[in-house]
Amino acid sequence: MGSKSAQKAARAAGRRQERSKAIRSQVKTDIAKAEKLIAEGNMDTAKQAVAKAVSALDKAAEKKVLPGNNSSRRKSRLLKKLNIAGTQPKVKATPEKAA
């Protein structure tokens, strides 16, 4: 069974794990939404979604749910995608006529 302190530590670890799991899941959801909007080319909404995702990553790193460098790397990659998508000209795909 273990000592009382070990039992208490196990309960505390379980509670921490549940909180961390929820935070990590929300971070992944926010990043996925932002990437989807970037891919669609909806830049105004994408900028808001990226800001929300960056905020979620910062909070997760602050609460030690994610390592700081992991959070920074993910923010960097997300912002790089946003900046690349923002500079590319919008080209509509037109079907080619068969000869």
Q: What are 30-63's pLDDT values in tens digits?
A: 999 999 999 998 899 999 999 999 999 999 999 9
Query: So what's the pLDDT on residue 2?
Result: 83
Q: Examine the pLDDT at 21 and tell me if it is beyond 70.
A: yes
Q: Which of 31, 81, 33 is nearest to 56 (CA)?
A: 31
Q: Which helix (H) or strand (E) holds 27?
A: helix 4-40
Average pLDDT (85-98) is 69
Which class for 42: exposed (0-12), middle (13-18), buried (19 or more C-beta within 10 A)? middle
Average pLDDT (78-97) is 78
